[in-house]
Amino acid sequence: MRNHTTIRRRAFAAASVLVFTLTTAACGGAKATDDDDKPAAKPAESCVDVSGDTVKLGFVNSLTGAMAISEKTVSSVLGMAAEEINASGGIMGKKIEPVQEDGATDWPTFAEKTEKLLTDDCVAAVFGGWTSSSRKAMKPVVEKHNGLLFYPVQYEGLEASKNIYYTGATTNQQILPAMEFLKAEGVKTLFLAGSDYVFPRTANAIIKLYAAELGIEIVGEEYVPLDKDDWTTQVSKIVKAKPDFIFNTINGSSNVGFVKAYTDAGLKAETTPIISVSIAEEEAPNMGASVEGQYAAWNYFQSVESPANEKFIKDWVAYDGPSDVTSDPMEAAYISLYLYKAMVEKAGSFDVDKINEAADGVSFDAPEGKVVIDGENHHISKPGLIGKINADNQFDVVWSSDAPIEPDPFLKGYDWFPESTRDALVKAAG
């Protein structure tokens, strides 16, 4: 018995040593190269091949999971834009060959799929993402491989990456105009309701700072997880606080639960109106209760009157997509592909660095109006709009900025925003 045990122990020890040796052998190269210095490694050489008559572009959207309901539309509208561009000659004469991937409402999956698109499919640029969490997961990947990401949704700002173009609004184009609108309406007290993740938290941090400046009192602040629908407890706090207005930064289907609790509690648009930043034409009819008379801040509405918008709506209705209404994130996704085309053609190249050099001032006659890229912060100018929901779940524009608002992601034009925070964030952004 003892003999047996000894042999067994030896076998185990020998095997362990073998594994250790194999592992260190496999690691050997890494340590040797890293000995001399620790500067940032050069990003891997791009494998993008545009020598043929096509160019591959990657779309990464959640086609499964909780965000699928919103992101499928973005995926469809990107497909429509690609078909349109191909029909009119492609990008620099090259037809777009889309590669679709599923982000599955799972942040590491967004990172994995983006890396797959950039290094395995060798796409020239990636389009997609919806939640800020998904963007934050993709950001290190595009930066590491020096790729390009076009992100089409309004967000909390305070970010700028040389590898990302933000075609949705930053805070000074959506949330700050909404606050100015509330001030003009004579609002004295405001209640903040949001989903519990990075966008609502950051947006509300900014709202609180600006509210102090405008003399609006914040009488409450409540959060519910993104995947939870029960707002009963939080809405009872709203009833007690009796705010003049509710600022809603809830995302996705959680809005349905919020509107239900709001309606059940007897709150009405006439007395306690809501201003939302995530309820658009697509969401409004699906709230389970009427949202007529409520407000939303966006940069595009289906009701915007322009020849470009007429064409956009007509094409979308004719296209085999999941819905027949158009909305702000859809429009931002649609124009992102056209802006990319314009940037490539101005640069005369699909090379990321050359595109970045050429980006400043590139414009497009978008359905929302003419938009222009800011080459420094990679955002675009946009008109600020406030709409009021009518009986057809469309938005009547009740307020608009006179001219397109220049993007200011780090709120440099607002001295109420703490300098130290801005410095820390700009430094972290590199």
Contacts with another protein, residue ranges (CB under 8 A): 4, 8, 11-12, 15-16, 18-20, 22-23, 25-27, 29-31, 33-34, 38-41, 43-44, 63-64, 100-102, 104, 106-109, 111-113, 115-116, 119-120, 132-133, 136-137, 139-141, 143-144, 156, 158, 196-198, 201-202, 205, 225-226, 418, 420-421, 424-425, 428
Q: Are 354 and 348 in contact (CB under 8 A)?
A: yes
Q: CB-wise, 88 or 420, nearer to another protein?
A: 420
DSSP for residue 265: T
Phi and psi for 165 in degrees, rounded to 5?
Answer: -110, 130
* C-alpha to C-alpha distance for 163 and 104, rounded to whole angstroms: 23
Kindly state the smallest distance separating residue 331's Cβ from another protein, in Å: 23
Q: CB-wise, 111 or 386, nearer to another protein?
A: 111
Kindly state the smallest distance separating residue 314's Cβ from another protein, in Å: 27
The helix (H) or strand (E) run that includes residue 387 is: strand 385-389
Kindly state the smallest distance separating residue 145's Cβ from another protein, in Å: 9
Q: Which residues contact 224 (CB under 8 A, 6 or more apart)?
A: 195, 196, 230, 231, 234, 250, 254, 257, 258
Kindly state the smallest distance separating residue 371's Cβ from another protein, in Å: 27
Q: Are 251 and 225 in contact (CB under 8 A)?
A: no
Q: CB-wise, 4 or 240, nearer to another protein?
A: 4
Longest dimension (CA), the chain: 91
Q: Nearest Cα to 253, choosing from 280, 273, 283?
A: 283
Helices 328-347 and 68-87 sit at what angle, rounded to 10 degrees? 40
Kindly state the smallest distance separating residue 4's Cβ from another protein, in Å: 7
Kindly state the smallest distance separating residue 68's Cβ from another protein, in Å: 9
Q: CB-wise, 69 or 397, nearer to another protein?
A: 69
* C-alpha to C-alpha distance for 62 and 50, rounded to whole angstroms: 27
Question: Strand order of the sheet with strand 385-389?
Answer: 217-224, 189-195, 245-249, 274-276, 295-298, 385-389, 395-400
Q: CB-wise, 188 or 412, nearer to another protein?
A: 412
Q: CB-wise, 18 or 289, nearer to another protein?
A: 18
- Residue 296: strand pairing partners: 276, 387
How many Cβ atoms from other residues are within 10 Å of residue 53's Cβ?
10
Kindly state the smallest distance separating residue 24's Cβ from another protein, in Å: 8
Kindly state the smallest distance separating residue 23's Cβ from another protein, in Å: 3
Q: CB-wise, 120 or 310, nearer to another protein?
A: 120
Q: CB-wise, 64 or 86, nearer to another protein?
A: 64
Q: Nearest Cα to 115, choosing from 209, 44, 188, 191?
A: 44
Distances (CA, A) of 181 to 119, 174, 178, 186, 411: 46, 11, 5, 9, 18
Kindly state the smallest distance separating residue 29's Cβ from another protein, in Å: 6
Q: CB-wise, 25 or 87, nearer to another protein?
A: 25
Q: CB-wise, 202 or 302, nearer to another protein?
A: 202
Kindly state the smallest distance separating residue 48's Cβ from another protein, in Å: 15
Kindly state the smallest distance separating residue 392's Cβ from another protein, in Å: 31
Q: What secondary structure does DSSP assign to 87-110, as a single string?
A: HTT-BTTBEEEEEEEE-TT-HHHH
Q: CB-wise, 184 or 205, nearer to another protein?
A: 205
Q: How far from chain centre, in Å, is Cα 31?
A: 38
Helices 132-144 and 107-115 sit at what angle, rounded to 10 degrees? 30
- Residue 59: strand pairing partners: 100, 127
